[in-house]
Amino acid sequence: MELRNCPVCGKLFVYTVRNLCPDCVKKDEENFDKVRRYLHDFPMATLEEIAENTGVPAKSVLEYLKEGRLMLKKSNLNVLSCEMCGSPILTGRYCEKCAREIKNKMDSLKYRAIGLNEDMKGTLHLSKLRKREK
């Protein structure tokens, strides 16, 4: 059994699958549902509109999309853009072209350096996010 502090509210909880306490998981699921329903009713909404009308922080909305839990309607190019080239995308973090390039690069890297594991990628991604928030 592993105890952790919830990164959102700071409460101590038993770590299972997600790095969130049960209260925040519940809240997150409610938020996710709000966003999903809002996008169903207003498929062309911008990120600002989604955040404003659902009360869910824009950062969380982006997370749902980047995690691939949510996908935008094909014609809605207002919300999400590729982290590499900035072209509009519907879900995830990169457009198809960049995703392919990254995969190729990762594949060739794998042969050279075995050091980069999933954990390290996670912290790199987080520190990048934190910097951008400021």
CB of 49 to Zn ion, least distance (A): 24
DSSP code of residue 14: E
Residue 90 CA to residue 70 CA, distance in Å, equals: 9
Among 47, 58, 71, 82, binds Zn ion (CB under 5 A): 82
Query: Residues 62, 47: contact at Cβ < 8 Å?
Result: yes
What do you get for the CA distance between the two ends of the chain, in Å?
35
Q: Quick check: helix, strand or coil at residue 43?
A: coil
CB of 94 to Zn ion, least distance (A): 5
Q: Is position 24 an interface residue for Zn ion (rule: CB under 5 A)?
A: yes
Give the CA angle between residues 68, 91, 104 to the nearest 5°.
90
Q: Which is nearer to Zn ion, 112 or 132 (CB)?
A: 132
Q: Quick check: helix, strand or coil at residue 13?
A: strand
- Pick the piece of the chain touching Zn ion (CB under 5 A) from 32-40, 42-50, 89-97, 109-117: 89-97
- Pick the piece of the chain touching Zn ion (CB under 5 A) from 4-12, 28-36, 72-80, 120-128: 4-12
Q: Which is nearer to Zn ion, 80 or 95 (CB)?
A: 95
Q: Is position 84 an interface residue for Zn ion (rule: CB under 5 A)?
A: yes
Q: Which is nearer to Zn ion, 6 or 77 (CB)?
A: 6
Query: Residues 84, 99: contact at Cβ < 8 Å?
Result: no
Q: Residues interacting with Zn ion, by CB under 5 A? A: 6, 8-9, 11, 21, 24, 82, 84-85, 95, 98
